[in-house]
Structure 1
């Protein structure tokens, strides 16, 4: 299974792509001992469910020097106020305000060296400028069975708006 690096706009089927959902699930499972579909009772291993119905935010960016989001489920799109097309053209660094970007980069560097972080907290910014605080986020390296790195992913179910 090989996925292109670069803009997901050229691969719009990642939203419901079963192979991509399996890659996210298996890479998380190898690192943490549980995958995306075991995080909630009753959840099912279905790419369409993960994209459209999952009650948690899930997003991923690629491996470019200035990574671009290549995936964001409907919960992420609502949280960040971007539709699929806009989100998958957005450099992931723009999900944090300028003063918070150094902290975000330290997080990504730690994830790159350790494989994952299971309890991340930080401030993010929506398209409208609304600031919100995410809690208990899991951020991990998206690596396939052959050891090829495809980027990083994050999931979180908890956030609150900031004044």
Structure 2
């Protein structure tokens, strides 16, 4: 797999990808998860935000294709470690079937709101995520690009 450079000024912190995540969220949930973040420097502001934002692609075993700093911190992974990793690995093996059902529900409905679940970091540190929104991501032509998740509530277990 080709190495994808980490978000930085030179790639505008993946502003265009972040904008697709935000636009898809607004269309499906009829609200925004951004409250104090304007369009100016959008990519950098979202990358450095105090909420976690992640997305994965449409591969049969979906791979992470974006994570902001807060998500990287929670999962205790670097950009290079997380990007390209199967998103199912963010869940302990015993919880993967429940995650598969959740992601199928997101695919069918378009989104799931107020999800709560357990995740695990690289070092095995478990944490509960609460009030999570998970939604389908589409481009401006309506093509399905994958799914994203956003949350700002977590508790280490």
Q: Same fold (TM over 0.5)?
A: yes
SS in 2 for 1:140: strand
Q: Structure 1, unaligned stretches of length 5 or more?
A: 1-6
Equivalent of 1:94, from 89, 107, 110? 89
Query: What pairs up with 1:60-99 in 2 under 5 angstroms?
Result: 60-99=55-94
How many residue pairs get matched? 152
SS in 1 for 2:130: strand
Query: What pairs up with 1:129-144 in 2 under 5 angstroms?
Result: 129-144=124-139
What is the CA–CA distance in structure 2 between the aligned matches of 1:100 and 1:15, rounded to whole Å? Answer: 36
Ranges of 4+ aligned residues in structure 1 off by more than 6 Å: none
- Partner of residue 149, structure 1: 144
Q: Does 1:43 align with 2:37?
A: yes
How far apart are residue 144 of structure 1 and its match?
1.6
CA RMSD of aligned residues (A): 1.6
Q: Does 1:29 align with 2:22?
A: no
Query: What pairs up with 1:101-116 in 2 under 5 angstroms?
Result: 101-116=96-111
Give me the TM-score of the superposition, normalised by structure 1: 0.87
Cα distance per residue 1:51-107 (max 9 Å; x no partner): 12x110000000000111000000000000001010102110000000000011111
Cα 1:15–1:131 change in 2 (3 A) is farther
8 A Cα contact 2:56 2:64, kept in partner? yes
8 A Cα contact 1:15 1:72, kept in partner? no
SS in 1 for 2:37: coil
8 A Cα contact 1:8 1:88, kept in partner? no
Q: Structure 2, unaligned stretches of length 5 or more?
A: none
